[in-house]
Amino acid sequence: MARKLRYRLEVESEHVDGVVMDVFDGTRYRELRETQVSEDDQYKFFDNPEDIALGLSTDGFTLFKQRRRGHSTAWPIILINYNLSPKIRTQLENVMCVGIIPGPQQCKDISSFLVPLMEELLELEGGIVTSGLSPDGSRYLLLLKGHNAFSPCRTCYVEGCKHPSNRVTVYYIPLVRPNEAAEWDCNQLPIRTHARFLEDIQNIEGATGWTLAQLTKHYGINGRSIFSHLKSIDLTCCAPYDIMHLFFENVVPNLILHWIGEFKGLDKGSGNYQIDEATWKKIGQETADAVPIIPSAFVGTLPDIAQDRILYKAEVYSFWIQYVAPIVLAGRLRTRYYKHVLLFCEIIMLCLEFSVTDSDIDRLDNMVKTWVTQYEQYYYQYSADRISACTLTIHALLHLPYYLRKTGPLWASWAFVMERFCGHLLPAVKNRIRPYDHLDNYVQRRAQMRVVSLVHNLPELSRSHAAKRRTANGIEISTREVAYPEFPDIVLGTPVTKKITMTVRLQTRFTRYFGVVYAGRSAQYLRNHIDESSIIRYGRFRIVPDGDRIRTASLIRNDRTARDNSFVRYQLLPDANAAFRNRPDVPRREVQYGKLLDLYYVVYVEHDGKRVPYILAHIEPCETHGLDATQPQTPVVSYNRMLPSHIVHIQTIESVVGRIKQDSGWAIVDRSRSGARTEFVDENGDDFD
């Protein structure tokens, strides 16, 4: 564990200006590295290599199903150790639960429950505490009023306006006021500062009665947050907008409500963005039918979005909007609204990139401003009666580039780990009479067992440790897997067939492949140099260390319950001048998709007797004409027939892909663009496939 905790030091030593890869590349961390902890001491934040960076997160969850929401709730408070690598920091075993705020109803004064934690943090003053919270969590921790304030946004002082009906106290934040009476310049929003934040708090603390109520409403602040006592905290950027809640539990569901005509009673107005009921049902059916032909590592479940949208959670919305929506909405949503959706998908994917540069953030800034401006034009239409379309979550998108620069990648503070931890606690509640005692006991004993395991180097009790071994390059494999040293990034698996009958057809396929590798040799020469006794057929493989798991088509065909992970993305180098006999060969890289039929390990004996091993993949290509489904220019890549099969080297395979069946054929679901994503694994961290 001590070695794992050196991640912060390693990342800091490799920092490159203008590149953001983790929270330690954000400007806020760089500022703290130049800030003295105390005026009387030259020691600066994180001068000690053993200093720990912590992130705090909290969110409420319901213990039992209730007719009314908000009852029987509990609010766990967890700490994320940023000194650990992103690969392991959000694993449950590394999440520190420092307390649970009991119900049955939501607490009124959350700061009172945080005093013990604050006392500990003040003793650890050399550390930084950042927060990755749900919208409700950040509002309560920082004592913000949210959308009930005249200045609802916690990042800027943009003033909201109410619906003309005046029946609700919610303030909406359009950039352009109703009837275009006034306009906020999205390039010059009045950003809050830490000093101004504290000044506003002082004004509130010095007021009473009616003046106090007016000031809290005007500033959007209820009082002084307990976290303001930490010197490392900047109240304006310590709680980045959580993109899990922002994107996948607010913006995406609201867009869907717009399309089906159910958003807060609004009709389409002067626009034309609504989808008729029959078409929406068709979209829902295509979504649900895609589940068997999409790998389970992509998404756990994908219900009918037309009939069972209530079953959709953040991770399902995330997958649907990024990979399914561009396919099922094509030709069904009017062009300008469809392009608006594609732009939103690009915004999401850029926010999820593992590494972004300053130019990427500038591009994101322009994309977000364009998207929000178009959103107001398409859905709000600058009408006072439609101002409810301009929710705080739409405005919050404008501040994502700001937080990316200040606190690092947005995936580093999203709330998926908080949601998972709440789900982890739920089975501990067995008693409806004393549920909070059960939660307390479970959390306490979990922490005790974790300490015992670390101190005495004991295995985790909750994990079953199957017999595994490591390859020469440190990759862990099971006893049913094989790794060849010549192919360090490939691990082969069962079923394994060692006695292969060399049929004429198989021999022809091998000969065609080696005829390209060893050009100029005759077919007979090539056949004689293939060591038939070395041929082994495998049924599956995985790309290591963090790549996909892929199976051959026969394994999928023989298992009715299997999720299809036999279709792959691979790249070849065909001749760009193939149609011109007298022109020289000009290789060009071409993306192809196809179905994996077989995997072969084979040895070719060269003319000098050197034995060269190959792992070859027998693939049946899809006719996709070389189009790349990950490119914004080609959001829908489809095919309606398969091409003759061929043999390729296994290292040309880049990833597994899914498909969606449509009337015109099959569309490719390719998520091989880099970026953070939710992974669906079992309790041992293994894929379900």
567-595 pLDDT tens trace: 999 999 865 555 556 666 666 789 999 99
What local confidence, expressed as pLDDT, does residue 129 receive?
54
Lowest mean pLDDT among 49-63, 194-208, 618-632: 49-63
d(CA 79, CA 55) in angstroms, rounded, equals 5
Total-model pTM? 0.87
What local confidence, expressed as pLDDT, does residue 685 receive?
47
Report the percent of the chain where pLDDT is more than 70. Answer: 89
What local confidence, expressed as pLDDT, does residue 174 receive?
93
What local confidence, expressed as pLDDT, does residue 688 receive?
40
Evaluate if residue 125 carries a pLDDT over 70.
Answer: no
Per residue in 534-548, pLDDT (tens digit) is 999 999 999 998 889
Q: What are the CA-CA distances from residue 622 to residues 148, 570, 600, 609, 635 (Å)?
A: 54, 11, 21, 38, 17
What local confidence, expressed as pLDDT, does residue 99 receive?
86
Per residue in 40-88, pLDDT (tens digit) is 777 788 877 778 888 888 887 877 765 455 456 888 888 889 989 888 8
Evaluate if residue 294 carries a pLDDT over 90.
Answer: yes
Which is more confident, 67 or 483?
483
Evaluate if residue 684 carries a pLDDT over 50.
Answer: no
Q: Which residues pair with 618 in a beta bridge?
A: 598, 647
d(CA 49, CA 58) in angstroms, rounded, equals 28
Evaluate if residue 464 carries a pLDDT over 60.
Answer: no
CA 596, 601, 605 angle in degrees (round to 5)? 135
> Tokens standing for 100?
């649970």
d(CA 299, CA 680) in angstroms, rounded, equals 7
What local confidence, expressed as pLDDT, does residue 682 receive?
44
Per residue in 211-256, pLDDT (tens digit) is 998 998 888 888 888 888 888 888 888 888 888 889 999 999 999 9
Which is more confident, 634 or 14?
634
Report the percent of the chain where pLDDT is more than 90. Answer: 48
Q: Which residues contact 654 (CB under 8 A, 6 or more apart)?
A: 568, 569, 570, 571, 672
Confidence of residue 130 (pLDDT cuts 50, 70, 90): low
Q: What are the CA-CA distances from residue 450 to residues 95, 257, 437, 446 (Å)?
A: 11, 45, 20, 6
What local confidence, expressed as pLDDT, does residue 67 receive?
45
The H or E element containing residue 453 is helix 435-455
What local confidence, expressed as pLDDT, does residue 37 receive?
80
**Residue among 128, 123, 103, 126 at smallest CA distance from 113:** 103
Lowest mean pLDDT among 308-317, 348-357, 470-479, 598-607: 470-479
Average pLDDT, the chain: 86
Evaluate if residue 463 carries a pLDDT over 80.
Answer: no
Evaluate if residue 115 carries a pLDDT over 50.
Answer: yes
What local confidence, expressed as pLDDT, does residue 683 receive?
42
Confidence of residue 449 (pLDDT cuts 50, 70, 90): confident
Evaluate if residue 208 carries a pLDDT over 80.
Answer: yes
Q: Which residues pair with 138 in a beta bridge?
A: none
Please say whether the beta carbons of 616 and 513 come within 8 A: yes
Mean pLDDT of 330-350: 96
Per residue in 500-525, pLDDT (tens digit) is 989 999 999 999 999 999 988 999 99
Mean pLDDT of 97-124: 80
Which is more confident, 657 or 9?
657
Domain ranges of the chain: 243-408, 479-669
Confidence of residue 677 (pLDDT cuts 50, 70, 90): low
